[in-house]
Chains A and B, each alone.
Chain A
Amino acid sequence: MQRYILRRSAQGLLAIIVISMVVFALARVTGDPTQVLLPDEASEEQILQTQIEWGLDKPLHIQYFVYIKRLTRGDLGNSFKWAGVPASELIAERLPATVQLSAFALLISAAIAFPVGVLVAVKKDTGIDYAGKMVAILGQSAPSFALGLILMWVFAVQLDWFPTSGRGGLSHMVLPGVALGYYNVAALMRLTRSSMLEVLDTEYVKLARIKGVSERRVIWKHCFRNALIVPLTYFGLIGAVLITGSVVTETVFAWPGLGALVIEAILARDFTVVQAVVLLFAFTFILINILVDILYAYIDPRIRYS
């Protein structure tokens, strides 16, 4: 088990290094950051000065090593757009908002997807099952910005139940949370349903019923935990979906998090910040995947002991 975790971590580290190279290369290949730093009418001298100041006069691979060296000391570089503010500071400022929203989204998607997935499995081939299927298919066909806007229009503009945008109390979180979590709900629900159906058909469920265990206990104790194994593997992907989603959803709902930050930075070609945020996202994503594998081993003792 320990060796497994170590190996997974090594793989993850490798992926992060590759990603950092790709992002770094893209940032430098595509034009001179001095254009962003200086006004158009800047003189040659000024440009040279700035290049030396930011270390842009050195060869690319040297720049990369300098970048990595700084990275290991926790220095993510300074923003071009926000007048030399360290990227780490910008991230620290925006991170809580994103964590809050993602956690909330994860919570509602799990809170909706698992029970509904179980319900539609138990009610297989009935109207409830078909309704669930339709909602899932429809939802997976809607890009998150469209879904977010439609939610906003119906529940904030028309019904006035929630505020339209911005960060604030719980009511501010509901719409962006649902918009962000929705895609997961659909996918998780389908996975829960299918693995639930598989488990409901096993001998040990039959035995539990033969023992005289109540149907509710059969479903929630005997089936649910077994059925959870497959959807859990999907939780790694949820990391990706939430990251992707946070970029769009935060923009739609003017939620002041990392997703919105990265969009602003990209549109302003502020590559220090883009690099920093992308690396953070990649790191989170890979970390989630490793954690899921560990959790997986915990739920299924067959893995734990092998």
Chain B
Amino acid sequence: MTVVALPKRGFIDSLPGGPAVTQGLAWARRYPLLPGFVLLFVLVIPAIFANQIAPHDHRIGDLDLVKRPPAWIGDKIVEQTVVQKQDRRVARQGEITLSSATRRMKRGTATFLEGGGDGTVDVGDKLRVVIRQGGTWTYPLGTDKQGRDILSRLIHGSRVSLTVSVLAIALGGGLGVILGLLAAYKGGITDTLIMRLVDIKLAFPSILLALVLVAAWKPGLLTVIIVISVLLWARYARVVRGEAISIMNRDFIDRAQVAGASDWRIMARHIFPNLMNTVVVLATLEVGHVIILESTLSFLGAGIPRPTPAWGVMVADGRELIVAAWWIFFFPCVAIVLTVLSMNLMGDWLRDKLDPKLRNI
């Protein structure tokens, strides 16, 4: 008959999935600590202090240490029998040609298992061959095909992502806010024109538009920023217009008009501040989108040009070595996914906090 306060382990916890999942998810919703932490350490700090943090020069590699795996991966060793075949491609698995065996012996990446009593390599000898050397802690995430440190390149790559997201969102968001305000405030033909333009823009696949635009100009950081901001404005314009119209129906706007304030002044001083939350939430939600766009363009060769270590470029570099050296494509992928994921979680959290009605856009 009275309220029975449930003990901590109640009915919900007895559901399949158990307390860990429910508690964990609820916790992650309430405190965006983990995503914030990831963002700070994957995106912001590396971007700002790239020169101080990066352990190696991201531009110049060590050609003696190309395609080194990450530190925790050991030598890859196989047993091979020496055979008399000239072309090493002809040798079957478990076999090694005489010439390459001799070469490896000299470099010290092969040792005798059987035979070799005379110190030279003969057909029929069994060798223990290190076909791939393990990683070292000097290059924690390994090196690429030019021997460049992947970690250092990732750190410098975060600069690209951060710069592009901040500038593109500032530019595109700014444009969208202004157009949205104009559409809402002026109404009539201005409104119709702007909103038609928004419809057409939203009806067009982003990547395709971006590709056409980038190809029309020259690939580069500035082009990418401008192109992405062109992709972003429409959504801002639509949301801001809707919000602004509802704000304008409140009477303080009428009062300002009666007081003789100019149109721009009313927009800037009276309407815009009321839109701040919406704009901030939209901006956060868009960062992930921008990072995906930028890295996709770079991956396709239509974004940031080499040798700038944009994450997308790094993935493109690693793509051809996917069989021999997975770490080259894999770590940049992880960096992108982690950043975007954290940003999305962060955006969700911020939206719920500041502007829950944005939930359905």
Contacts and interface: CB of A to CB of B under 8 A. Distances in A.
A and B, direct touch (CB closer than 8 Å) = yes
B322 A26 contact: no
B215 A15 contact: no
A149 B21 contact: no
A143 B18 CA distance: 32
A289 B200 CA distance: 13
A149 B213 CA distance: 26
Contacts of A150: 330, 333
A141 B315 contact: no
A289 to B, nearest CB: 8
Query: Interface on chain A toward B: helix, strand, loop, or mixed SS?
Result: helix
A149 B322 contact: yes
Interface in A227-276: 240-241, 243-244, 247-248, 251-252, 262-263, 266-267, 269, 274
Contacts of B200: 15, 18-19
Contact of A153 (B18, B206, B330): B330
Contact of A244 (B25, B207, B301, B302): B207
Interface stretch (A94-102, A126-134, A215-223): A126-134
B216 A29 contact: yes
Interface in B15-36: 15-18, 21-22, 25
Interface string A279-299: 001100110010000000000
A90 B32 CA distance: 50
Interface in B323-341: 323, 326, 329-330, 333, 336-337, 340-341
A146 interface: yes
B358 interface: no
A145 B204 contact: no
B300 A263 contact: yes
B210 to A, nearest CB: 10
B217 interface: yes
A243 to B, nearest CB: 5
A282 B204 contact: yes
B97 interface: no
The bracket for how many chain B residues form the interface is 35 or more
B299 interface: yes
Contact of A149 (B211, B333, B341): B333
B142 to A, nearest CB: 15
A137 interface: yes
A240 B323 contact: no
A278 B203 CA distance: 13
Contacts of A152: 322
A138 interface: yes
A126 B15 contact: yes
B341 A137 contact: yes
Nearest to A124: B15
A115 B220 CA distance: 44
Interface of A: 15, 18-19, 23, 26-27, 29-30, 125-131, 133, 137-138, 140-146, 149-150, 152-153, 157, 164, 240-241, 243-244, 247-248, 251-252, 262-263, 266-267, 269, 274, 278, 281-282, 285-286, 289
* Complex A-B, nearest 5 residue pairs according to Cβ-Cβ distance, in ascending order: A127-B17, A141-B341, A146-B333, A30-B216, A266-B215
22 contacts: A27-B216, A30-B215, A127-B16, A127-B21, A130-B17, A133-B25, A141-B344, A142-B336, A143-B296, A143-B299, A144-B296, A146-B315, A149-B315, A149-B329, A244-B205, A244-B207, A252-B319, A263-B300, A266-B211, A278-B212, A282-B203, A285-B204
